[in-house]
Amino acid sequence: MYRYDEFDHAFVAERVAQFRGQVARRMAGELSEDEFKPLRLMNGLYLQLHAYMLRVAVPYGTLSALQMRKLAHIARTYDRGYGHFTTRQNIQYTWPRLGQVPDILAELAEVEMHAIQTSGNCIRNTTADPLAGVAADEIDDPRVYAEIIRQWSTLHPEFSFLPRKFKIAVTGAPNDRAVTRGHDIGLRMHRDGDGAPGFEVMVGGGQGRTPIMAKTIRDFLPVDQLLSYLEAVLRVYNQLGRRDNIYKARIKILVQSVGAATFAEMVEAEWQEIRDGALDLPAGELDRIAAYFAPPPHDDLSVACPALDQAISANAHFAAWEESNVLAHKRPGYAITTISLKPHGGIPGNASAEQMDAVADLAEQYGFDEIRLSHKQNLILPDVKKTDLHALWLSLGKWGLATANAGRISDIIACPGLDYCNLANARSIPIAQRISERFTDLARERQIGDLSLNISGCINACAHHHVANIGILGVDKKGAEFYQITLGGVANENAAIGAIIGPAFDEWQITDAVETIVDVYLQQRETDERFINTYQRVGPDPFKEQLYASDQAR
């Protein structure tokens, strides 16, 4: 794991002191809200419906047990005993008091964390594949490059006032678990003919009111030239991105308006001016950062694990959890485990301080002191011996953390919605709760299999509803909450935007509508076919017919 050097420590401490002064001046009336707002946003502090909200970055989604305990401590001491994990590898505190936020930031700095650039029109927290370093299909650890991007982009003077926010995601694997095409810049690693790693650069992706999947503007960029090329992309955007209309200010609109090929030429021209200069990464520096992400001291184990096979045979609940929540690790005898933060009827992404402490303990006991955050709002222990899986599952169960639903219909991504968020038009959480309660039957959920269902409370699409197999968007219709369904979205390397199936449903119809969609799928599917494949094969009509059958009868 990356450790701060003296410069990092001094920088973050200085930043906390600055913000402490800014808060004091605001509370003394020396700064107006208009003057203070951009300052607080630069430190991740929003003002929401009922209270402030502090968004803390978890760079590339990697946490130590010490850091997780600090997050728990902050939840307990300064908030209401819980935190909300987001789709962009952040944690949000929902009830901090303004006067205490500098103290929270000082506590975070103690464990090398901060809230810088979790808001504002700057380069946001760079996200990465949550299975970085352990996935069997990985070419190289993307966190090395995410950390380099973090250091380059932090308070970058040229890119602190961009036309709009800017999000970068990195994956080191061909199977995309970081929704790279849904980002302003997505970086996907490949090898060249000589086996050297480099990045495919995808630009202009995003969701929101204009969902667009990013276009590849460069097939292969050598890793040592990453920063100069990113700087060229940002420069073109900074100069040409629209500042007159907030809805047209993201880079996706620029790329769409000039065309990906022309945009690529502009970037290339800019890059020729600045490449082969100070931004090239020296091999020594790459190696220095990479060393922080060296694998932990794994034991040499065999692939076979009779103890695990026995436990699976002996307990159907454990078998179900192992089937849905355990993934293949690149090392024999090890496994990657998803800790679901989606109990049926619970609030997606929420964890109590006690649960966070428990996960920290279990990471130390079973997982080389490492925890990951996924964009699905779940936690991951990436390095668990197969022989420990049963004991881990038993411990997770004591804390309500052993729900066997990773990747299933109740593994719902949901934003805070109108219950908390200032931008929302409709509530997300109660809808997620009702849908997940509808699918509590384990056998039925297994029968349905892999299916993504995401719920956003407004068109900003924080919950990625556009790229869900079943996407739900909350809309306001004359003061009432309605929910529009999209089908066919995909978030992986074959990313696709879902299509609206028809008129929206009210809050009491939407759960039945989801069940109807599932029923149609089960009727239509061929053996072992996943929901998305059935939908792609049969198209929207069978779903539409069933969903609106009663309308036609009228």
Write phi, then psi, for 407 (nearest 5 degrees): 80, 0
Closer of 315 and 352 to other proteins (Cβ): 352
Query: Tokens standing for 444?
Result: 């039925």
Binder among 2, 82, 535, 543 for other proteins (CB under 8 A)? 82
Tell me the C-alpha distance between 414 and 446, whole Å: 21
Q: Does 525 bind other proteins (CB under 8 A)?
A: no
Q: Does 99 bind other proteins (CB under 8 A)?
A: yes
Q: Could you tell me the smallest distance in angstroms from the CB atom of residue 31 to other proteins?
A: 9
Identify the DSSP state of 166: B
Q: Does 434 bind other proteins (CB under 8 A)?
A: no
Binder among 15, 19, 26, 159 for other proteins (CB under 8 A)? 26
Nearest to 146 by CA among 110, 176, 187, 204: 187
C-beta of residue 330 within 8 angstroms of C-beta of residue 138: yes
Tell me the C-alpha distance between 179 and 128, whole Å: 9
Q: Could you tell me the smallest distance in angstroms from the CB atom of residue 491 to other proteins?
A: 25
Do the strands 505-506 and 480-487 form a parallel or antiparallel pair, or are they unpaired?
antiparallel
Binder among 63, 347, 462, 468 for other proteins (CB under 8 A)? 347
Binder among 98, 274, 290, 538 for other proteins (CB under 8 A)? 98
Q: Does 223 bind other proteins (CB under 8 A)?
A: no
Q: Which residues contact 309 (CB under 8 A, 6 or more apart)?
A: none
Closer of 135 and 347 to other proteins (Cβ): 347
Write phi, then psi, for 264 (nearest 5 degrees): -60, -40
Tell me the C-alpha distance between 202 and 222, whole Å: 14
Q: Could you tell me the smallest distance in angstroms from the CB atom of residue 27 to other proteins?
A: 6
Binder among 332, 430, 502, 540 for other proteins (CB under 8 A)? 430
C-beta of residue 318 within 8 angstroms of C-beta of residue 311: yes
Nearest to 412 by CA among 342, 478, 473, 480: 342
Q: Could you tell me the smallest distance in angstroms from the CB atom of residue 81 to other proteins?
A: 8
C-beta of residue 46 within 8 angstroms of C-beta of residue 119: yes
Binder among 9, 20, 80, 248 for other proteins (CB under 8 A)? 80
Q: Does 85 bind other proteins (CB under 8 A)?
A: no
Residue 459 Cα to chain centre, angstroms:
17
Could you tell me which stretch among 26-34, 236-244, 247-255, 492-500 binds other proteins (CB under 8 A)? 26-34
Query: Tokens standing for 44?
Result: 């991740």
Total site size for other proteins, rule CB under 8 A: 33
Could you tell me which stretch among 14-22, 199-207, 474-482, 527-535 binds other proteins (CB under 8 A)? 474-482
Q: Could you tell me the smallest distance in angstroms from the CB atom of residue 343 to other proteins?
A: 13
Nearest to 144 by CA among 294, 284, 290, 291: 290
Residues 35-74 within binding reach of other proteins (CB under 8 A): 47-52
Write out the residues near other proteins by the rule CB under 8 A. 26-29, 32-33, 47-52, 80, 82, 94-95, 97-99, 347, 350, 418-420, 426-427, 429-430, 433, 476, 479-481
